[in-house]
Every structure is written in structure tokens, then in C-alpha cells.
Chains A and B, each alone.
Chain A
């Protein structure tokens, strides 16, 4: 009697309570990602043809709302809190995109986050590498990086050539 009325219900209730304490935060937790490329955009639709709603820089964080065919529906975490779409290749777990010297780095709670905060192979090592290899010239590397057709030019090029923006799944 005591077992059925007290012990069993109490044990089951406690176990559900303990499980809920651990599981609920992980299920309910907001999924945060950060921009892992120098520049990207939040767009109105999940396509590179989508209207640009906001321009995003390296390290800026977004909250993930949903996912569709290589695109994330995101909400910008700073004002204005724009909601739109970003390509999955532009986003990563925030721990891999912290900026060196970023104030947020200090006080970070995981060694992994601290470890990857812009350390190692970065601008200062490049400077050093260039200095010790006098035969190298980064001039054309810099020039190359400036060659970037605008989205409008790419769209016009595709239309003129009877081509399409190759997004989504490919079926032969």
C-alpha cells in the first residue's frame, strides 16, 4: 500500500523532475551561430537573389530560427533585430569565429573558445612570413581580392548567358 501510494509515485516524480532540469534547457536553448566570413548578408528569401536586409561582418552573432536547403532563417542579435536568411556556409558555431582582442573573448568560459580566438595563423604571422621571404610579393594577392563582381553584374551575366543561379539540389 505504502509502496503503491507513496514510494512509486515519489520516485517517478523525482526522476522526471531531475531529467526535466537537465533536458529542458538544452532543448529550449536558443541556437546561436556567428558569421565566419569577412562579409555576408541577411536576405529576404533563401537565395542570393533575395533582397539584402542587413550586411553582416565577421564575428556578428545571429539566432537560428529554422533551416532550409543550405540556408538558415536567422534573427540578428543586435538592433535592428532583422529577421531573414543567411547561407549556411557563412555561419559557424560561435567558438570558431571570435576575433583576436575581442572583448567578448575575455572571460570566455571554454578553453576551446579562447584557443580559437583569432590566434595562430593570422595577420601578424603573415606580416612576419612576408618579411622573412623576400621573394614573395603580396601585391597581386591584394589586387586579386579586390576583383569581385557585384551581385547585379553576376545576375546580368547569368541572364545574358541563358544560365541560372545554381542554388538548391541538383538532379541530372
Chain B
């Protein structure tokens, strides 16, 4: 082997080996190494005020999504939304019905994609003739007396409940928060932590207030997008099917609701797509019928527990 050939082959081997190493150490491996190196510096106090400021500005310019809220933060948002709903609607004082609704809710939540939330699922019936329901982030779910009256069987009541659970599993409530507010909120929380502040800053306070306003406005006044409502119906069909309730009960309930909704009302008539459009959308994936045999035992307990509704 002449000298030139030897040198070339040696270099080729070295380059090949380097490429081999880097191909194994892909971005997924290299990036965390770099991150940890930077973060160790911050945590150990070796990075000065100027660098810390740079990090803070980086945090504030990152784009966060609703998925970046922790389950605990979602829980506190949900509680505040619940308190707002309960400032507008009074609970129905019917313990037997409340317990029954919570049993159906517990059965349906196990079948959801998200059986466990930070504070769990809890259901309350509101003393209102409106046809309405609200799913606060984290699993506080409210159903009006008027909506329950659209249900003729336990399966139909389960359909209503499963639809609301699906809103929680897809985190539709958190998605009602304005995107710029989410970015600011998560960024500010990160900054607050970095500065190790113990007190609530006015900025975080305002962002919390604003987030609650966004969610309650969507739930009570504006309604979710048609896409979210259709998605919640699809989620409900799966939950019903997995639990053993008849998915066709959702269609039957919507047919009853169609007859009961009053044009111009500020309830589901305003905040939800029409029952007809929901039924049409359900028909794209569910090929069964709205007619189903009511289970005698379920029907008996449904009648016992809903006796005071009318």
C-alpha cells in the first residue's frame, strides 16, 4: 500500500466511525445531554444574573399549549370554573338522584381514555329547566334537571354523562383558554419558579382570572366548536359500548332533545350544534339504530331514582 492510499483509507475509516457514532447519538440523545449541562449550571447557581435573564426570556418566548398545564393546575382551574357555574345555578337537592348520577358517572369514567384525573370525576344535578351541561376541567361535571328530562332510560342518561366525560378526557375546557394566555401563563409560572417566589404575583393572578373567564364564557355563553362537540359524541359512543350501555341511546336522547329545545334559548340551543347535525355526524361511525331494548333492571332503577324530576 503506498503512503497516499494508506492516509486516505485511514481518514475514510475515521470519518466512517464518527458518522457511526453520531448516527447512534441522534438528536434525542444529544439534546438532553446539552439541556442537562445547561440546567445543572442554573440549579447550582453557577449561571449569573445575565444568563438567568436570558433563560427567563427564553422561557417566556417558548410556545406552550394546553397540554403543558399539569393535572394539578387543571384541577384548580376546574374548581374555579365549578364555583362560577354554581354562582349562576343552584344544585338540585335530591341526594338519591345525585348518588345515582355519580354511580353512572363512575362506571362511564372507567371506560374513558382518562379514568383518573387529579381530583377525580364528580357529578352534580343543577336545579334548572334549561337543557344544559358543563364539564369543568379535571372532572367536575354539571347536568341540569332539564337535560335529565330528555332521558327516558338509564342508557340515555349514561349517554349524556359519557359525552361530558369525553369533554374532560380530551381537555376541551383547557383548550378554551386563549393561546396567548396559555403561553404567558405557563411561561410566567416557570419564571415564578425560577425566581423561587412564594407569593402570588399580580401577573399570575390576572392570568388565572383570564383563563377562568375564557373557559366559563365558552361553557356558558359561546359553546365549544362543532368539532369538539362531534368529538365528544364519538368519545361517548365508545364509552357506552365498552360499559355495556346501548350507543343508540345517544341518538334517542338527541331526538328527544330536538323536540324539547326552545328556539332562542341560551342553553344547548345556543351553545351546541343542532341535534340533527349531531345525529348525522354520529351516523358516520355508528351504524346501529336508536331503537334498543331497555334492560328491565336498569329501567326499574332509573324510574326509582328520577321520580322527583318531573
Q: Give residues in A with beta carbon < 8 Å to B.
A: 1-3, 7-8, 11-12, 14-15, 18-19, 22-23, 26, 36-38, 40, 48, 58, 87, 89-90, 92, 96-97, 107-112, 114-126, 128-130, 133, 135-138, 140-141, 144-145, 147-149, 153-154, 157-158, 160-168, 170, 172
Contact = CB atoms under 8 A, between A and B. Distances in A.
Interface-central residue, A48, A109, A160, by most chain B CB under 10 Å = A109
Interface-central residue, A40, A96, A107, A111, by most chain B CB under 10 Å = A111
B122 A158 contact: no
Given A22-B25, A164-B244, A87 B87 contact: no
Contacts of A126: 76, 79-80
7 contacts: A22-B24, A89-B114, A118-B72, A121-B69, A125-B204, A129-B205, A144-B123
A161 B79 contact: no
Contact of B103 (A122, A130, A153): A153
Interface string B70-104: 11110011011011101100010000001100111
A1 B154 contact: no
Given A23-B29, A36-B72, 14 more contacts: A11-B10, A36-B70, A37-B118, A111-B55, A112-B190, A121-B208, A130-B83, A136-B87, A144-B140, A148-B122, A158-B107, A163-B298, A166-B244, A168-B242
A163 B243 contact: yes
Contacts of A133: 83
A135 B29 CA distance: 52
B35 A122 contact: no
Interface residues of B, number: 88
Given A22-B29, A23-B29, A119-B189, A163 B107 contact: yes
Contacts of B24: 19, 22-23
B13 A7 contact: yes
Contacts of A15: 17-18, 20-21
Contacts of B87: 135-137
A100 B70 CA distance: 13
A114 B72 CA distance: 15
Could you tell me the dominant secondary structure of chain B's interface residues? Answer: helix
Contacts of B280: none
B276 interface: no
Contact of B189 (A3, A26, A121, A158): A121
Interface in B292-306: 295, 297-298, 301
B102 A120 contact: no
Contacts of B21: 15, 18-19
A163 B59 contact: no
B10 A3 contact: yes
B151 to A, nearest CB: 15
A45 to B, nearest CB: 14
B49 interface: no
B184 to A, nearest CB: 11
Contacts of B99: 147, 149
A125 B102 contact: no
Interface in B130-154: 140, 154
A172 B284 CA distance: 13
Given A111-B43, A148-B102, A166-B239, A137 B86 contact: yes
B1 interface: yes
A107 B79 contact: no
A32 to B, nearest CB: 15
B193 interface: yes
B2 to A, nearest CB: 12
B115 A48 contact: yes
B167 to A, nearest CB: 16
A147 B123 contact: yes
B219 interface: no
B205 A140 contact: no
A87 B103 contact: no
A162 B301 CA distance: 12
Contact of B115 (A1, A89, A109, A124): A89
Contacts of B1: 1, 3
B43 A107 contact: yes
B297 A161 contact: yes
B39 A141 contact: no
B185 A120 contact: yes
Given A110-B36, A123-B76, A154 B106 contact: yes
A97 B286 CA distance: 39
Interface in B14-52: 14, 17-18, 20-21, 24-25, 29, 33, 35-36, 39-40, 42-43
